[in-house]
Amino acid sequence: MSTSTALPTGDVIVQNLPWRWSVQGKIFLIGGLGFMFDAWDVTLNGVLIPLLSAEWGLAPAQAAWIGTSNLIGMAVGAFMWGTIADRIGRKVAFTATLLIFSLFTVLGALSPDIVWFCVFRFLAGFGLGGCVPVDYALVGEFTPRRQRGRVLTAMDGWWPVGAALCGFVSALLVGAFADWRLPMLVMVLPALLVFWVRRGVPESPLFLVHHGRAEEARTVIDDLVHRTGAERTAYRLPRPQDAPRLSMGSWGEQLKAVWRFDWKVTGVAWALFFSILMVYYLALTWMPRILIGAGFAEYRAFLTTAGMAAAGLLGVVVAALLVERVGRKAILAVSAPLSALTLVVVAWTVDVPAAAVGWLLVYGFLVQMAIPVLYAYVSELYPTELRGSGFGWASTFSRVGAGLGPLVFAAWLWPGLGLAASFALAAGLVVLAVVWMAVSAPETRQRTLD
């Protein structure tokens, strides 16, 4: 073996660096803020449904398109931006997603009717849909291996922050001004600020290595070593991977590559994303309307939903503390089915306000134990050249379920089966996905990326 081939590779150097809040922590914070806006925007669908139903006289099946158009836009954005990130860079996608979201959110607030509103919500969702796969790919590739599971799990702590902010701010604005446009517009200025800050984040060295940009990769790696205070050691850069040009056909090729990599792993990733997030988005989209129908005042329904999201922050903390000790699969196997079953209990107790609120807090805690671990787990299942697109395609599949699920729920399941049975049906899908994970997918705790 030659001396050069005995040297560690540059990506191994990055993954073994010490954690520094001024270096990797800064990227975690900047990436997390974009994730926060994703949560804020999705939660806003639940606020807008009762408000626009009253404004434009919408039936439940019509009102469901408010959330469906936004989430389908996120589904398209998730796979397109994930593939863009794998082709032309994490940084470009990392920066552009929030700018597109901000533009079409403003246009949505100026919509004259439900049709234009749904068009602009779709386009805003397209921009924001790239945040989750791109942010997880970028943050994961800068994070040292020893802290990666905990950091990627903690990324989801931004979600309950964004969801809770949406509920509290919406309750305040709607209560004071009775205008559905203000909760939309209030997001835009901070989103633009985060867009500007993101421009200073470096490109992922793992991406640069895989695309043959050796000089840039060495510059980034050497800078990381210097700023973290790590011991300087010699390293080599592996041979670059083939990187086909971005085109319409490349998305299809990337989808094929994701399935060729390991069909069982991809199937598990898609099943977990679809079932767990469909249950979550069902609650997030329709819970304000359910609570208002049970006699809650609008502001109280929004505050209750905000409290549900805020309880999730504790769930994220618990998941982050446990994920490196007990592993990703064990946490998912327990928290995901229990969160779905808790919604059934909420449906049984919705006419008893104190009980319903209590069970919703339990639900918020449990579901936010599951979701961050799910994100960390799936992002670790794929190699660098497929990480953005593998996560992005799984996220796309979940957004399709999350978009169509509330529509089917409002139009057929809830009226036909009742609230509890509809939630129980969704819970059954979660149980099936978790069983498939248990027998078909590996544990990724402490595993080296590539």
pLDDT in tens, the chain (450 residues): 455 567 888 878 888 999 999 999 998 998 888 788 888 998 999 999 999 999 999 988 889 899 889 988 988 887 678 777 777 777 778 778 888 999 999 999 999 999 999 999 999 999 888 777 777 777 888 889 888 878 877 887 888 899 999 999 999 998 788 789 999 999 888 888 788 877 778 888 878 877 778 888 899 999 999 999 998 988 888 777 654 444 445 667 878 899 999 999 999 999 999 999 999 988 988 999 999 999 998 889 999 999 999 999 999 999 989 988 999 999 999 999 999 999 999 999 999 999 999 999 999 999 999 998 998 899 889 987 788 788 878 877 887 777 788 788 888 888 889 999 999 999 999 999 999 999 999 998 877 666
User: Rounded to whole angstroms, how far apart are CA atoms 342 and 369?
Assistant: 14
Whether 167 contacts 387, CB under 8 Å: no
**Predicted local confidence at residue 449, as pLDDT:** 64
Structure tokens at 121: 């919500």
**Residue 76: inside a domain:** yes
**Residue 418: inside a domain:** yes
Whether 162 contacts 316, CB under 8 Å: no
**Residue 445: inside a domain:** no
Residues 19, 20, 23, 29, CA torsion sign:
positive
User: Rounded to whole angstroms, how far apart are CA atoms 197 and 204?
Assistant: 16
User: Rounded to whole angstroms, how far apart are CA atoms 303 and 308?
Assistant: 9
**Residue 9: inside a domain:** yes
Q: Which one, of 52, 51, 56, 63, lies nearest residue 171 by Cα?
A: 51
**Residue 447: inside a domain:** no
Q: Which one, of 3, 15, 412, lies nearest residue 225 by Cα?
A: 15
Structure tokens at 113: 């009717």
Using CB atoms within 10 Å of the CB of residue 65, give its burial: 0 to 12 exposed, 13 to 18 middle, 19+ buried.
Answer: buried
Amino acid residing at 320: A
Residue 143: count of CB within 10 angstroms of its CB: 24
Using CB atoms within 10 Å of the CB of residue 304, give its burial: 0 to 12 exposed, 13 to 18 middle, 19+ buried.
Answer: buried
CATH of the domain at 217: 1.20.1250.20
Helices H / strands E in the chain, number of each: 21, 0
User: Rounded to whole angstroms, how far apart are CA atoms 336 and 342?
Assistant: 10
Residues 18, 382, 375, 285, CA torsion sign:
positive
**Predicted local confidence at residue 324, as pLDDT:** 86
To 10 degrees, what angle do helices 328-349 and 353-381 make?
160
User: Rounded to whole angstroms, how far apart are CA atoms 412 and 273?
Assistant: 23
- Which H or E run contains 360? helix 353-381
**Predicted local confidence at residue 357, as pLDDT:** 96
**DSSP at 439:** H
Structure tokens at 5: 């081939």
Residues 166, 271, 206, 156, CA torsion sign:
positive
**Residue 446: inside a domain:** no
User: Rounded to whole angstroms, how far apart are CA atoms 167 and 330?
Assistant: 31
- Which H or E run contains 190? helix 188-198
Per-residue DSSP letters for 199-237?
Answer: TTSPPPHHHHHHTT-HHHHHHHHHHHHHHHTPPP---B-
Chain Cα centroid distance, residue 120: 21
Whether 104 contacts 435, CB under 8 Å: no
User: Rounded to whole angstroms, how far apart are CA atoms 43 and 187?
Assistant: 12
Q: Is 9 helix (H, G, I), strand (E, B) or coil?
A: strand
Residues 6+ apart with CB under 8 A from 122: 69, 70, 72, 73
Ramachandran category for residue 236: left, alpha or beta (phi over 0 → left; psi -120 to 50 → alpha): beta
Q: Which range marks the domain in which residue 187 is found?
A: 3-240+247-440
Per-residue DSSP letters for 274-334?
Answer: HHHHHHHHHHHHHHHHHHHHTT--HHHHHHHHHHHHHHHHHHHHHHHHHHHHH-HHHHHHH
Q: How far is CA 165 from CA 65, 197, 374, in A?
A: 23, 21, 23
User: Rounded to whole angstroms, how far apart are CA atoms 57 and 88?
Assistant: 45
**Predicted local confidence at residue 428, as pLDDT:** 96
Q: Which one, of 32, 44, 43, lies nearest residue 132 by Cα?
A: 32
User: Rounded to whole angstroms, how far apart are CA atoms 107 and 424?
Assistant: 38
Q: Is 243 helix (H, G, I), strand (E, B) or coil?
A: coil
**Predicted local confidence at residue 225, as pLDDT:** 93
Structural domain count of the chain: 1
User: Rounded to whole angstroms, how far apart are CA atoms 10 and 426?
Assistant: 44
